[in-house]
Structure 1
Amino acid sequence: MLEGALLEAAQTVFGSRLGAAEQYVAHLASSGIVRGLIGPREVPRLWERHVLNCAVVESLIPDGARVGDVGSGAGLPGLCLALARPDISVTLIEPLERRVTWLHEVVADLGLSNVRILRMRGEQAKEEAGELDVVTARAVSALTGLVDITLPLLDGSGQLLALKGRNVQAELDKAGKKLKRWKVQDAEVLTVGQDLLEEPTTVVRLSL
């Protein structure tokens, strides 16, 4: 049950779609565990560590953007962003069939018209995904490998938002040569949600 600061944060981020966000969390805590998308130990912290941690990234996404979420898994961050931002369109890109089946079920239950789902690897999705303004990823790969998977989807223009942990600067340093090869114009580490969450979200933003 949401209460206190977490309830306030959820109301701020999801607004009129808070009910749908609560439905999504109920799916994560039930069928998401049964199908192996979420570990049972994560249930008490689904809101703070997962759903809100992802959803606050919406503040970095331009109005009406076309977003591709690579390695969507349980919809983190793609579904959270689609719930928080009805104005954007989100393409969930996920190769594993059981996860894709679950995502289809959840999207249908939540009635999300701004989401579509592709069953494929990120590096295969360029044609199917179409033009994208933003690509997101969470817990997919270290930055050195992630840029090879995600940046081709932007076709030379747009931004990658990679949700990362605290060792992110080391990842950035290691990926330096790759970033030059991909002609990344700007690479920055951002903190979002610090006014809403006890533990804000760390994001690497790469701009082409």
Structure 2
Amino acid sequence: MGMRLVALAACLAASPAMAQQTPVEPSVGIPTSAVVVLDRDLLFTGSLFGQRIARDIEAASADLAAENRQIEADLEAEERALTERRDAMDMADFRVLAAEFDNRVTSIRQTQDAKARAISQQTERAQQIFLEQANPVLVQLARDTGALVILDRRIVIASADQVDITNLALERIDAVLGDGGSLLQGPPAPRPDPPSSGTRSDED
């Protein structure tokens, strides 16, 4: 996901000396450790926010795929009709129509590719927003665990299960962010009308 996890240094305490004088009192069920780990991918995909985004992206992708199939069918029908007219047309006139058709196909393909990229960019934007909003929750969780740093579990060779705070982080983030409905309004990508392919569809 390319998300940067917060690296929390000793500044979370007022000072090293004060930190030694007033140790963190861990909450029930929260391990106290200078280093804790979490699964950063699961942090997003396992959250209510991430699951909502996944559903929205899946729906937008399915809509785009259906739109592409309709456009493809329309273009194939137009191509067949143009081919059937070829023998009865002046060859120069046919070449002009064929070139116009090819140019329109290229334009439509570019438009549909742009829609696919927009869906992908919405995923990246959602991940960025998630991390920004989750960061204060992780900072507070680091304080509660007495941690000086939170590491991505994938870069740790070995660790005890007790220092993995992924599930605890998910619980707290879900409680604060929910499904992110107030942060991301509307579907992940716009769904404009399909470009005209030169033939009428059932939706016209």
Q: TM (normalized to structure 1)?
A: 0.20
Greater strand proportion:
1
Q: Which protein is bigger by CA-based radius of gyration?
A: 2
Q: If each structure's helix is expressed as a fraction of its own residues, which one has the higher value?
A: 2
Higher relative contact order, structure no. (Cα contacts within 8 Å, ≥ 6 residues apart): 2
